[in-house]
């Protein structure tokens, strides 16, 4: 009997929760704010769904309700991706400067 | 690009996201981690373009929206002051939530594009997955908006409570489940819209009863929600990058909520059910009698610290509000020149979000190896001469250990009372967020410095010379 692909995705999901659990506990408390901003940025990988929606149109009908929602989602997720990674970078840069000072 | 090949690349970008979080285990590896995160994102986006391979009509619009969003995001990231990080993160959470809702709507209206069937005949499993993604996304969105407004001060931080609140929330929660059930049975659009509306309402009602002091928990919790919303969408799109990322973010937010709750010795449910900060206020005002307080000026403080051999700085949110972190660093520099040992002690809930105080100190060029967490430093207070408490209050209150009646009883505190002398920079004797009086103010070895944190610190610097 063949296994439903859903089960594979479920396995990935469950194992990722465990990975997340152990990885996040290893994050030093002083970097908890960058942790939040970077998780924010990576959760915006949801943009892949938005791109699929945006690209699903043909040339006669670029703007239908579905693709408009897709475009809007691309816009929102892009704010998050750029904003999230850059603000994280900015914060982490501050943690670096001091090492040089010493 | 074949479906199998793109799936492998999605998996790869998921692994890069894991490494991005792993990098944060130390400041040294953190920047490399962030780079891995960016790389993972670039791979995921590129693979999506290539796997669809439709570069004709919509492509240019996709790029335009991507670019505009990116510019807006970059602009915000460079402009935002570090004190506003909590609002920024809350705002970003709301965007993730809304994006999840929009993607779910797109998939619902145009399921062919996602290989999920045709309108009115969507696979049941996909329908359940996208409904869950949409519902959690909507809750995240409206909840984060409220959190943003409260943190920004546009909305009062005091909890809004009314009778039957929890009952209504429960009812809304049940109706979400019922709606998903009927949606699967009928495939009717109107059920889908109702589902989103009710979820939006639930997100709103979940956050309004939670007080300003509990915001660190709320932000972490919404962080977690945004992850679970991504998981729902990830299952719908059968995309492993999304599933992995969502699970990482979901557990990250959950762990941070747990750490924050522990920092306040409150159970998660106690925070969620809300109302903290409103009921306790009455408690402090009635038991208040006039007790003698020793207050001093910058000169006294400078004298005390100059003659100390070790000083522990305890910064709190008040320091951030007064923007005193740079002045504080100047003061510490002078002290260090005089051969005085300096350490910073940070309580888990010192800021408005997890790790907030660390970032503010980092911004003021405080080396991270001088900054210590509660467990690391608590034994050092007894061997130190001066504790310099600036803008913190509740986290030093010994009542948390001794007074079983106190609302903060059981909360882990920084043992500043064990220092030889304690300096409190504070604007007045008013109680902190928890609304409890701090008996430390009235101790013999405590010197109160009533002033704005920044002005006082600057004056101390002058007096140290």
The pLDDT, as a whole number, for residue B222 is 92
Per-residue pLDDT for B215 more than 50? Answer: yes
pLDDT value of position A95: 85
Q: What mean pLDDT value characterizes chain B?
A: 86
Is a pLDDT exceeding 70 seen at residue B239?
yes
Secondary element (H or E) of residue B118 = strand B117-118
Per-residue pLDDT band for B278 (boundaries 50, 70, 90) equals very low
- Mean pLDDT, to the nearest integer, of B61-77? 94
pLDDT of residue B365: 86
Mean pLDDT, chain A, integer: 87
Among candidate residues B214, B333, B394, B465, the one labeled active-site is B394
Q: Tell me whether A2 touches chain B (CB under 8 Å).
A: no
Quick check: A20 contacting B, CB < 8 Å? yes
pLDDT in tens, B71-118: 999 999 999 998 889 999 999 999 999 999 999 999 999 888 888 888
**Residue A98 and residue B359: Cβ atoms within 8 Å?**
no
* pLDDT of A20 above 90: yes
What residues form DSSP beta bridges with B386?
Answer: B311, B421
Residue B394 designated active-site: yes
At residue B451, does pLDDT exceed 60? Answer: yes
Q: Could you tell me the pLDDT band of residue B279, with boundaries at 50, 70 and 90?
A: very low
Give the tens place of pLDDT for each residue, B356-411. Answer: 888 888 888 888 888 888 888 888 888 888 888 888 888 888 888 887 777 777 88
DSSP-assigned states of every residue in B355-398? THHHHHHHHTT--GGGEEEHHHHGGGGGG-SEEEEES--GGG-T
d(CA B45, CA A47): 8
Selection from B333, B331, B271 nearest residue B463 by Cα = B331
Residue B432, pLDDT score: 65
Q: How far is CA A95 from CA B63, B87, B211, B363, B365, in A?
A: 34, 21, 31, 8, 8
Residues A94 and A87: their CA atoms lie apart, in Å, by 11
Instruction: Mutate one of B6, B40, B44, B249 to test the A interface: name it (highest A CB count within 10 A).
Output: B249
Q: Which is nearest to B104 in space by CA: B220, B194, B196, B222?
A: B196
Chain A residues within 8 A of B220 when measuring between CB atoms:
36
A85, pLDDT greater than 60 = yes
pLDDT at A89: 93
Give the pLDDT confidence score for residue B178 in this predicted structure: 93
Q: Which residue of A has its CA nearest to B137?
A: A46
Task: Note the pLDDT of residue B164.
Answer: 79
Q: What is the pLDDT of residues B118-144, one digit of tens each?
A: 888 888 888 999 999 999 999 999 999
Is residue B48 pLDDT above 80, yes or no?
yes
pLDDT band of A101, cuts 50, 70, 90: very low
pLDDT at B45: 93
Residue B68 has pLDDT above 50, yes or no: yes
Q: Does the structure show a pLDDT above 70 at B156?
A: yes
Would you state the pLDDT for residue B255?
Answer: 93
Contacts (Cβ under 8 Å, ≥6 apart) of A72: B65, B102
Contact B70 A82 (CB under 8 A): yes
> According to the model, what pLDDT value does residue B277 have?
45
Q: Tell me: the pLDDT tens digits for B169-202?
A: 889 999 999 999 999 888 888 899 999 999 999 9
Span B408-428, pLDDT tens digits: 778 888 888 888 888 888 877
Which strand (E) or helix (H) includes residue B310? Answer: strand B310-315
Report residue A50: phi and psi, to 5°: -65, -35
Q: Do A38 and B24 touch (CB under 8 A)?
A: yes
Facing A35 at nearest CB: one of B110, B242, B252: B252
What local confidence, expressed as pLDDT, does residue B380 receive? 86
Long-range pairs for B289-294 at CB < 8 Å and ≥24 separation? B291/B441, B291/B442, B292/B442, B293/B429, B293/B441, B293/B442, B293/B448, B294/B444, B294/B446, B294/B447, B294/B448
**Rounded mean pLDDT of B201-210?**
89
- Kindly report the backbone phi and psi dihedral angles of residue B265, in degrees, each rounded to the nearest multiple of 5, phi listed first: 50, 45
Lowest-confidence pick of A46-55, A83-92, B46-55: B46-55
CB–CB contact B242 A44 (8 Å): no
Q: Do A95 and B27 touch (CB under 8 A)?
A: yes
**pLDDT at B230 (0 to 100):** 93
Which chain A residues have a beta carbon less than 8 Å from that of B66?
Answer: 47, 74-75, 78
- The verdict on ipTM greater than 0.90 is yes
At a CB cut-off of 8 Å and minimum separation 6, what does B114 contact?
A49, A52, A53, B107, B126, B236, B237
Higher pLDDT, B370 or B161: B370
| CB within 8 Å of chain B, chain A residues 62-81 | 62, 64-67, 69-81
* Mean pLDDT in residue range A78-91: 94
For residues B276 and B407, what is the distance between their CA atoms, to the nearest angstrom? 9
Q: Is-contact B275 B209, C-beta < 8 A? A: yes
Position B284 confidence tier, pLDDT thresholds 50, 70, 90: very low
- Measured distance CA(B267)–CA(A59) in Å, rounded: 55
pLDDT at B281: 42
Task: Give me the mean pLDDT over the A75-97 stretch.
Answer: 91
Angle, CA of B275, B258 and B360, to the nearest 5°: 90
CB contact A99 to B (< 8 Å): yes
- Three-point CA angle B210, B278, B272, nearest 5°: 25
Give the DSSP per-residue string, B408-451. TTT-----GGGSSEEEEEESSS---TT----GGGGSTTEEEEES
Q: Name every chain B residue with its beta carbon within 8 A of the beta carbon of A25.
A: 255
Q: Which two tokens stand for residue B232?
A: 């729902």
Q: Is the pLDDT of residue B285 over 50?
A: no
């Amino acid at each position: 009997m063949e296994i439903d692909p859903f089960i594979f995705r479920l396995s990935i999901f469950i194992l990722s929760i465990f990975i997340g659990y152990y990885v996040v506990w290893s994050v030093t408390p002083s970097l908890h704010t960058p942790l939040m901003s970077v998780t924010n940025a990576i959760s915006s990988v949801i943009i892949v769904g938005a791109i699929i929606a945006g690209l699903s149109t043909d040339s006669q009908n670029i703007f239908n309700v579905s693709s408009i929602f897709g475009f809007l989602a691309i816009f929102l997720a892009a704010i998050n991706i750029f904003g999230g990674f850059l603000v994280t970078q900015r914060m982490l840069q501050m943690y670096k400067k001091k090492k040089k000072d010493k | 690009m074949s479906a199998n090949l793109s799936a492998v690349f999605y998996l790869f970008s998921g692994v890069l996201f894991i490494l991005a979080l792993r990098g944060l285990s130390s400041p040294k590896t953190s920047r490399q981690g962030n780079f891995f995160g960016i790389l993972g994102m670039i791979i995921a986006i590129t693979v999506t373009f290539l796997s669809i391979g439709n570069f004709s009509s919509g492509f240019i619009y996709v790029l335009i929206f991507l670019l505009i969003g990116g510019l807006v995001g970059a602009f915000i990231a460079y402009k935002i002051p570090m004190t506003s990080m909590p609002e920024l993160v809350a705002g970003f959470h709301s965007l993730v939530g809304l994006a999840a809702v929009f993607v779910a709507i797109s998939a619902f209206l145009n399921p062919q594009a996602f290989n999920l069937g045709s309108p009115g005949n969507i696979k049941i499993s996909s329908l359940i997955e996208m409904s869950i993604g949409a519902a959690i996304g909507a809750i995240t969105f409206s909840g984060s908006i409220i959190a943003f407004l409260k943190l920004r001060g546009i909305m009062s931080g005091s909890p809004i409570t009314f009778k039957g609140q929890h009952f209504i929330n429960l009812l809304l929660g049940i109706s979400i489940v019922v709606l998903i059930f009927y949606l699967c049975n009928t495939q009717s659009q109107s059920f889908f819209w109702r589902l989103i509306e009710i979820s939006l309402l639930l997100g709103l009602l979940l956050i309004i009863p939670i007080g300003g002091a509990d915001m660190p928990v709320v932000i972490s919790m919404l962080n977690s929600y945004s992850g679970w919303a991504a998981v729902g969408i990830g299952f719908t799109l059968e995309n492993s990058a999304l599933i992995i990322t969502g699970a990482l973010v979901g557990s990250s937010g959950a762990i941070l909520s747990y750490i924050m709750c522990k920092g306040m010795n409150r159970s998660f449910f106690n925070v969620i059910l809300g109302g903290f900060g409103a009921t306790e206020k009455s408690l402090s005002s009635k038991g208040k009698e006039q007790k003698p307080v020793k207050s001093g000026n910058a000169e006294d403080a400078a004298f005390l610290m100059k003659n100390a051999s070790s000083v522990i700085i305890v910064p709190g949110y008040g320091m951030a509000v007064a923007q005193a972190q740079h002045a504080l660093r100047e003061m510490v520099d002078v002290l260090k020149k005089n051969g005085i040992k300096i350490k910073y002690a940070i309580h888990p809930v010192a800021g408005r979000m997890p790790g907030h105080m660390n970032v503010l100190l980092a911004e003021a060029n405080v080396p991270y190896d001088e900054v210590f967490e509660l467990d690391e430093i608590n034994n050092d207070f007894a061997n130190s001469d001066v504790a310099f408490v600036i803008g913190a209050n509740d986290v030093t209150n010994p009542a948390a250990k001794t007074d079983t009646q106190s609302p903060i009883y059981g909360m882990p505190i920084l043992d500043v009372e064990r220092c030889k002398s304690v300096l409190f920079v504070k604007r007045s004797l008013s109680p902190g967020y928890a609304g409890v009086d701090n008996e430390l103010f009235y101790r013999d070895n405590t010197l109160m410095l009533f002033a704005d944190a920044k002005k006082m610190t600057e004056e101390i610097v002058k007096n140290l010379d």
